[in-house]
A = this chain, B = another copy of it.
Amino acid sequence: MNRGVDTIVVQATALTAAAFEPFGDVIETTGHRPRPINEGTCLRYDDLAQVDVLEHGGRPLISLFEAAPRPLPLPIRSLERHPLSSQAFYPLDGRPFLIVVAEDGPPPWAGRIRAFLSSGAQGVNYRRNTWHHPLIAIGAASRFLVVDRGDADGNCEQTSVDDAVVLATTG
């Protein structure tokens, strides 16, 4: 990694639905009005993500991920996207995690890379074709529930990020 003068440091900002809108959904209760169910013993925050996995006969998968924490600062060397499906991640240990996404376009990537910090009570759902970095747990091993279409052929594109971009600690 080039840690020279040209290194571009991306700082994460708090994950909000408004800031993440170009990339997908934030799965959270904040900003959503629940409805009471089960004789008032439960609040349902309904339909928080656009699950888009049915293209070409796809079906929704529920999977569990166990992610090792990444050291920070983290070089951003590649991104991936799924042309056939959305992909949702929700943290199961209440731990914050980092989300790196980029708007599509020709190189250089640096100016288009954005980073967000989940509170630990927020998941994300990447919209189909959103460039994103593989899962970035921080601090400790973290579990996630994932709803996607699986890794079927043709559903994962990868691109290298040749710019010297590092994801920094937040704040």
Q: Which residues of A contact B (CB under 8 A)?
A: 27-29, 34, 37-39, 41-49, 51, 53-54, 59-68, 70, 88, 90, 92-94, 123, 125, 134-135, 145-147, 150
**What B residues does A38 contact at CB under 8 A?**
67, 134-135
A41 touches B60 (CB 8 A): no
Complexed CA–CA distance, A34 and B64 (Å): 9
A70 touches B94 (CB 8 A): no
A29 touches B61 (CB 8 A): no
B67 touches A62 (CB 8 A): no
Q: Which of B53, B54, B62, B90 touches A47 (beta carbons < 8 Å)?
A: B62
A51 touches B44 (CB 8 A): no
Number of copies: 2
18 more A-B contacts (CB under 8 A) besides A41-B70, A47-B61? A29-B64, A37-B134, A38-B135, A41-B68, A42-B65, A42-B66, A42-B67, A43-B66, A43-B67, A44-B63, A44-B65, A47-B62, A49-B62, A51-B61, A60-B60, A62-B125, A90-B145, A92-B94
**What B residues does A92 contact at CB under 8 A?**
90, 92, 94
What are 14 contact pairs spanning A and B, CB under 8 A?
A27-B62, A27-B145, A34-B66, A43-B67, A44-B64, A46-B63, A48-B62, A48-B63, A49-B62, A51-B60, A51-B62, A60-B147, A92-B92, A123-B145
Known: A60-B147, A92-B92. A65 touches B47 (CB 8 A): no
